Amino acid sequence: MVLVDTSVWIELFAGRATASREDFLTMATCCPVIQEVLQGLRPGRQAQQIRWQLLGLPRLGDPVAVDLFLEAADLYASARRRGLRIRSSVDCLIASVAIRHKTPLWHFDRDFDRIATFSPLEIWSPAGGIGTG
């Protein structure tokens, strides 16, 4: 299983990234990713389809307990102490979900690479033609 970040969904929906049918069978999401994706869509039929597709994926960290938010805050503070700027605190929450579930994260967001330098976050690198197009 691979936790797929919002940055990947954006690239997939825009046609700038690709994934095989088999890859979709290994994908998981979490509530912060669902929120970020849905809040960026224009209302309409396509948005509803995407909503149902995302809700059909396995969800990690559901429901999100307060300790996960505390872990995310610790990640953010740890980055700051190291002089690393994390642009979105939601990225820390997504990373905490991946770490908690020992699930690699697929992303196109440099904040996750920064977080992985000082935490157990595992980054998933696509193989076999998956990636930006």
Spell out the domain ranges in the chain.
Answer: 2-132
Region 2-132: CATH code: 3.40.50.1010
**Of 56, 38, 55, the residue nearest 47 (C-alpha):** 38
Q: 61, 101 in Cβ contact below 8 A?
A: yes
Q: Which residues of 37-63 are buried (b: 16+ CB within 10 A; e: fewer)?
A: beeeeeeeeeeeebeeebeebebbbee
Quick one: pLDDT at residue 24?
Answer: 86
Q: What is the tens place of the pLDDT at every residue in 57-107?
A: 999 987 878 898 889 999 999 999 999 999 999 999 999 999 999 999 999
Residue 10's φ and ψ, nearest 5 degrees, are -60, -45
